[in-house]
Structure 1
Amino acid sequence: MILSFFDNAKVGEVPQKVKDVYVEKPEGIKVEIWQQNLEIPWSLVFLPNGDALVSERPGRIRIIQNGTLKEDVYANIPNVMHSKGSEAGLMGIALHPNFASQPYVYAMYTFQEGNVNDNRVIRLKHNGSNATFDKIIVDGIPAGRNHNGGRIKFGPDGMLYITAGETFERELAQDMESLGGKILRVTPDGAVPNDNPFPGSIIYSLGHRNPQGLAWHPETGDLFSSEHGPSGEMRLTGNDIINIIKPGKNYGWPKVVGKVNMKEFEDPIIMWEAATPPSGMVFWNNNLYVTTLRSKALMHIQMNKTGDDYEITRIERWFSPKQNEGVYGRFRDVTVGPDGDMYVLTNNRDGRGNPTENDDRILRISKMVAGS
């Protein structure tokens, strides 16, 4: 049977040579509570005028105007599948790359109506303080309570990239007839780009379990992605990874895990053996920052590129004194604002965290100015 074959996955090495360093109080930065009292925020984007949109997993997009979270909802997404403790619901949001002339907001969510249940990306028309439905961009992405992926971002090429999980059906990740367990790439209108690696298909890469984050290196243009490893599957724990995504490549799940040096699969550049489920990610001052959930840390990753390879030189676990403990709890997403500061979403009300008063929050992280 297919599943018994997959149960014999080859487990490889940890690719990075450095050990993580716990940094509960990072030096040289200032942390402020920018917003609070959100319900399971998942994704944050800034509008050209400095306002911001934040998605809440039950199905709402909220707007932050002039630094204030508005009570009136920017957009209510209908038919959202969501329940406490699951990973389904409203997830990633993104803005059209030419937002000034084409004011569209994109949203990915788990849809359920009658017998129809899928993950899909829709487009909304921005109307100032609210938005209205425009069109479906992609549908038919497999959906489930867990492993839905959910990140959407426009790349430097103007194309929309979508992370799709395999919904705990491992075989989907290697099935080219399914959009599950893939990273997808479409035009802003949802069409197949002419230069996609598989003609006529929106599939960009395959062999993924539950990819959660996307970020492009500001100098090299390489696409990085974070992905949840097989905790609790195949007698494995953790093995969460960071990949560099290349068009048409196979990242191995569920046949391989970790660095295996097999020509048919791409190896990760980082793997954490202890459960460190990563989510949203961004480059800030040429370093990679990755939010993590269970491990409750913001990962600060330094690296150098030599030829085609990246050498990981240091990994710090910010705001964490030790494994699975953190000052602010679970983190879901991180982005850089128009002011150059970094903004981080907590995720403590998702049914798996321990919420405190005024959770969930958006943290604002800025570099300290000398003498301040």
Structure 2
Amino acid sequence: MTQSEFDEVRPPEPPRRRRRGDRPGGRRSGRRGGSGAGGDGAREMFMVPEAEFTSYYDKPIVKPPPWGHEVAAYLFLGGVAGGSGLLAAGAQLTGRPKLRRNARLGGMASVCLGGAALVADLGRPDRFYNMLRTFKVTSPMSVGSWILSAFAGGLFVAGASEIDRMLKNRLPLGPLRQVLRFVEGPAGLAAAVFAAPLAGYTAVLLADTANPTWNATHRDLPFVFVSSASLAASGLAMVTTPVAETGPARVLAVLGVAGDITAMKLMERRMDPVAAEPLHHGQAGTLLRWSERLAVAGGLGALLGGRHRAVAALSGLALLSASALTRFGVFEAGIHAAKDPRYTVEPQKRRLAARRAAGITDDSITTAG
């Protein structure tokens, strides 16, 4: 018998069932036919077992992404930074200096921590620099790298001016201090222009993969992530800023809660039911359920008791936690979906059947079977 090097990893074949009429020695009896035997004895009758969603050598059909929790942390911190940049611009335009300062500094800290998480996943800092060597509009990673750089540039200029004021003009800037004060306002507004793209591009990055669950969310996940970023930024502002200046943050929190829950429910409804299963089961399901509960609690706290310092701080922590759990929950759902062939095969079969039912049988996907 010819043997292959893969024989040792080949899954064992299930034992064949003995048919009625077979003798213990492996010979068939002389009787022919009979409905109980499954045929008339003159032809081979096959017994097909129930289909099982397996793959060659127990390997996944879709390769799971080689990402650790550093990437999930980057998804969350990018949302905090983007939402904070937008909130800082609103505070700048409405004359709320403490909210403006805290939002800018919170955004700067989130950018630094998120960049560290991204570099930790990439392995070397120069890999991030290499992504800035070109601009490829069809690559979410390339576009996102430039969005992050543009946002960070504007926010760090505005944040440097805030730090200089906090230190009572003790930074050794010399004549550059006047220049910094002059460009502070435009830099803060420039960062706000890139705030929403920064909060949402990571959703496009996930949905642009072959991962069955992430790809099925491509129409709605950016709205979920932008709403989640609103929760995170408003929650951080409510924790760090006196209630006298957190009016915009409370409004953003309530709008973010409404948008987050609505977008998530709409996304799940529009997804293939099988592709949506990882969002409801296991660790991802637990994270997303708690995210919804904390978002509702934080939104109610901001709406009803946001003028009380203790209630505002607790509501802000709930909103921050809800945003983090949303990002980690979606991330975990995609990791789990890539490991089970069922989440890849069943949605593909449904899409194929739908195309055939619509009369599309002459393209490269469907055939006139």
For the aligned pair, the TM-score class normalised by the smaller chain equals: under 0.3
Greater helix proportion:
2
Q: TM-score, normalized by length of structure 1? A: 0.25
Greater strand proportion:
1
